[in-house]
Structure formats: C-alpha cells, structure tokens
C-alpha cells in the first residue's frame, strides 16, 4: 500500500478516533475533520485524498450537502458512515453522489472491505491500474478504461465513480440480460439483498439521465421487466 490517504468527517470525536486508529493500523494515512466546512476546505486543498468517510447527521452542513459540494469539484469516492439505515436515506445519499454506505454500529471487517474496494476503483479511475477495453454502445457512447472517461461522440460525460463502474459492467455484458443480483455483486462487491434493488434503480436512473435523450423512454439501457437490464 502506498499510504493511500483517507479523510474522516464526523462531529463525534470518538468515532473519528476509532476509525482513524483502525485505518492507521492498516497502513492508511488518515486526516480528520469535525464538520462540513472543514472537510470541504481539506478536499479542495488536498488532491492526494483518495477517500472521504462522511457522517450524514452533523451540525451545520449535513453530510449529504458536503457530498454534493465535493461532487462539484472532485470525483473522490465518498463512503457514508451513519446511524441512518432506512432505504430512503440510502437512496438520498446515493442520489447526491455517494459511492457507498455503512450503518453504525459497523463491523471493522466490513469497513475495511469497503475502503479497500472504493480506493481500488478510484485508483483505476486515475489511470493507475490498467483494465481491459470494452465496446461502444448506443452508437456513439464509449469508455476509456485507462482513464475511466466516458464519451458521447467527442463530448465527455460527467459520471461519478459508481456510475462509471455500472456503465463499464453493462458494456462488458453488451447484448446480455444483466440481472440485479449480478450487477450489484459485480459492481458493489457485496452479497445481493432485495433491499439493494432501490440502490440499483437510483444509480441506473442517474446514469440514464446522462446517457439517454429521454431517461423516461430509454433506448440504450433498457429494462427487462422481471429480470434486469439490457444494453444495446
């Protein structure tokens, strides 16, 4: 590990310390922020940050608001760490650009697994890990797996890290029916549960809004009712 850097944002100093000690023991370089404003200052000033672990319920700027502002200037992955566990809360967090979600109290093993996965994908985004090329879809939509850039013709499509992973998975299975279970386990790297269906739906809708002429009448990412999705 080359001292990947993680910013922990939580108004609870005990949570910050516990997570910092855990990640530090695994060789990560860790920084802390106790609120949204401080977190934004650090993300904007320090391009070496590889992951932001972000609490949702904080005084002042909420974690969701912080994530929205981060997304305006940076693709750095965001892992929400929070006591909120309702599906609608997860959907809201993902809609604002979050990459993953972990509910307190969390297991150390699960936290480390998610951290490792998000940073690995982000390093691929930065072009540090080569991955295989995939075909074009929709006539003029292509991706460059070396730089993790998505293009529509000669115009770059602004995707979040997770949206790119989903698009890449679809393109690798062009012409096939992709079931929710395969999509979730392939992209999120976790065991599929029925509640994950809402998470997938929100991400696919966001992706359609960026790829399709009409997201409500998709021609590229098609729904196969009762089964999943199919990309042409």
pLDDT digits (tens, 9 = 90+) for 37-65: 999 999 999 888 999 999 988 889 988 89
All structural domains of the chain with their residue ranges: 5-125, 141-231
Which CATH architecture group holds 141-231? Orthogonal Bundle (1.10)
Tell me, yes or no, if the pTM score tops 0.85: no
The pLDDT mean for the chain works out to: 86
State residue 99's pLDDT score. Answer: 86
How deeply is 221 buried, as exposed, middle or buried, from its count of CB atoms within 10 A (0-12, 13-18, 19+)?
A: buried
More confident residue, 228 or 128: 228
- How confident is residue 125, by pLDDT bands cut at 50, 70 and 90? low
Q: What are phi and psi of 26, to 5 degrees?
A: -95, 5
The answer to whether the beta carbons of residues 54 and 39 sit under 8 Å apart is yes
Task: Tell whether the model's pLDDT for residue 133 goes beyond 50.
Answer: no
Q: What is the mean pLDDT of residues 7-18?
A: 94
The architecture CATH gives domain 5-125: 3-Layer(aba) Sandwich (3.40)
């Amino acid at each position: 590990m080359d001292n990947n850097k993680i910013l922990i944002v939580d108004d609870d100093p005990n949570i910050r310390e516990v997570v910092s000690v855990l990640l530090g023991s695994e060789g990560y370089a860790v920084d802390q922020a106790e609120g949204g404003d401080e977190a934004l200052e650090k993300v904007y000033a320090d391009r070496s940050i590889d992951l932001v672990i972000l609490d949702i319920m904080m005084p002042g700027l909420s974690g969701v608001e912080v994530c929205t502002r981060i997304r305006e200037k940076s693709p750095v992955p965001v892992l929400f760490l929070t006591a909120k566990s309702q599906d609608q809360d997860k959907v809201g967090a993902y809609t604002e650009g979050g990459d993953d979600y972990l509910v307190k109290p969390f297991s150390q093993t699960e936290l480390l697994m998610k951290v490792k996965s998000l940073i690995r994908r982000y390093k691929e985004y930065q072009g540090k890990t080569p991955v295989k090329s995939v075909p074009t879809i929709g006539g003029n939509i292509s991706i460059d797996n070396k730089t993790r850039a998505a293009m529509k013709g000669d115009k770059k499509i602004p995707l979040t890290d997770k949206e790119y992973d989903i698009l890449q998975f679809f393109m690798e299975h062009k012409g096939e029916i992709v079931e929710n279970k395969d999509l979730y386990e392939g992209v999120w790297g976790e065991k599929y549960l029925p509640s994950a269906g809402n998470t997938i739906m929100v991400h696919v809708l966001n992706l359609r809004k960026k790829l399709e002429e009409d997201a409500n009448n998709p021609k590229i990412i098609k729904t196969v009712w009762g089964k999943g999705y199919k990309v042409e």
